[in-house]
């Protein structure tokens, strides 16, 4: 097992082919540049099967970080055998009716989502979304808690406290905020013309305050160019990641790049150059999804990048420990949450 801990110091998070590991998957996961796996719907047909897949991944290397995009609403990769979590925007509507009920249910949903993923052996979900919904960006919408930064902050903090109760750390995204732009970064590179002072007074409020409260173990930057701040997209900008996120706001957790296969991440020189640029700018992990040739290019070509001792320490706090056996029994707390969902949303 000691060798596995050394091998898992790599900065690349990638995907696997299906519900079972292929021979190619297994070989790739032993590469020293690979530090984690991100699961998609094609990998997670049922909760029990997902638990089996996670065990097989951990049997190859115990310290591989297993991630998923499981936010609730339309972004829920694992659906069979777990609760359908409502979109975060629905919590804002409840919060407006009763702040106490909104915050309480946000905490319960954070716990439930994390508890069910942990039961399947998943270490972390890349959530919550901290973008403010300006009714402009098709990639955000109901994934956002609210258009209001203080409402978003309150609900996100409660959601994270629930996650933490299930021993799961939070990764806030998409720093410094994706809701204002109209372009979906999956399709093209969005550009935002606002000055930093305006962004800081609004979009950055949830990030800044949650960092101050030590609520975020990770942050994912957006594939957006803020033209008045830096010519580089945020995830490739040392100004954004090192000067603003690290120094100005004091963030000392992990920085996860958004998917380098997205159109908003296209840089001259190909995938390897993009990965190296993101890591040099300040990312701890780079994600390469749904592009095996691109992932192979990055994994085989990266040289001189590994997680720092601090990053490795934080990564360890994200890992599941103990049994991954799937337990289909509903806990009393889970049943109470399901009843609340039926009655309050």
Query: How many separate domains does the chain show?
Result: 1
Residue 101 sits in a domain whose CATH number is: 3.20.20.300
Evaluate the CA torsion angle 308, 310, 313, 317 in order and state its sign: negative
Domain region containing 253: 2-344
> Is 186 assigned a catalytic role?
yes
Q: How far apart are CA 221 and CA 120, in angstroms?
A: 27
| 79 vs 117: CA distance, rounded Å | 11
Q: How far is the C-alpha of 297 from the C-alpha of 12, rounded, in Å?
A: 11
> Which residues, at least 6 apart from 292, have a Cβ–Cβ distance to it below 8 Å?
17, 24
Nearest 5°: CA angle at 138, between 134 and 139?
A: 100
When pLDDT is averaged across residues 282-297 and rounded to a whole number, the result is 96
- Spatial distance between the Cα atoms of 104 and 117, rounded to a whole number of angstroms: 20
Given 69, 131, 192, 258, the catalytic residue:
258
Cβ 67 vs Cβ 121: under 8 Å: no
pLDDT one-digit tens code per residue, 225-279: 999 999 999 999 999 999 999 999 999 999 999 999 876 557 656 899 999 999 9
The model's pTM is 0.93
Q: State the Rg of the chain over Cα.
A: 19
Which candidate in 52, 184, 186, 243 is catalytic? 186
Enumerate residues 6+ apart whose C-beta is below 8 A from 311.
254, 284
Task: Work out the average pLDDT over 4-9.
Answer: 50
228 is catalytic: no
**pLDDT tier, 9 (very low <50, low <70, confident <90, very high otherwise):** confident
Confidence of residue 188 (pLDDT cuts 50, 70, 90): low
């Amino acid at each position: 097992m000691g060798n596995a801990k050394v091998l898992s110091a790599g900065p690349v998070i990638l995907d696997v082919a299906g519900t079972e590991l292929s021979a190619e998957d297994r070989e790739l996961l032993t590469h020293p540049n690979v530090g984690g796996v991100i699961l998609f719907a094609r990998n997670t047909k049922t909760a029990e099967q997902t638990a089996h897949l996670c065990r097989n991944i951990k049997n190859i290397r115990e310290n591989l970080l297993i991630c998923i995009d499981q936010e609730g609403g339309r972004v829920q990769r694992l659906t069979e055998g777990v609760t359908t979590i409502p979109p975060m925007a629905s919590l804002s509507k409840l919060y407006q009716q009763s702040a106490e009920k909104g915050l309480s249910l946000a905490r319960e949903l954070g716990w439930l989502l994390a508890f069910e993923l942990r039961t399947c052996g998943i270490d972390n979900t890349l959530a919550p979304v901290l973008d403010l919904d300006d009714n402009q960006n098709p990639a955000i919408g109901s994934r956002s808690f609210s258009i209001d930064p203080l409402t978003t902050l309150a609900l996100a903090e409660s959601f994270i406290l629930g996650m933490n109760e299930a021993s799961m750390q939070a990764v806030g995204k998409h720093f410094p905020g994706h809701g204002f732009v109209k372009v979906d970064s999956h399709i093209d590179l969005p550009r935002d013309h606002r000055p930093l002072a305006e962004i800081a007074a609004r979009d950055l409020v949830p990030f800044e305050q949650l960092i101050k409260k030590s609520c975020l173990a990770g942050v994912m930057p957006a594939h957006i160019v803020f033209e008045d701040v830096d010519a580089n997209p945020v995830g490739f900008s040392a100004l954004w990641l090192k000067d603003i996120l690290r120094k100005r706001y004091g963030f000392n957790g992990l920085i996860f790049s958004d998917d380098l296969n997205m159109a908003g991440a296209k840089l001259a020189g190909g995938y390897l150059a993009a990965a190296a640029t993101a890591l040099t700018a300040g990312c701890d992990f780079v994600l390469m999804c749904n592009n095996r040739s691109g992932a192979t290019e990055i994994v085989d070509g990266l040289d001189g990048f590994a997680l720092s001792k601090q990053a490795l320490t934080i990564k360890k706090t994200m890992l599941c420990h103990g049994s991954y056996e799937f337990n289909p029994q509903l806990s009393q707390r889970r049943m109470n949450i399901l009843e609340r969902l039926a009655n309050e949303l």
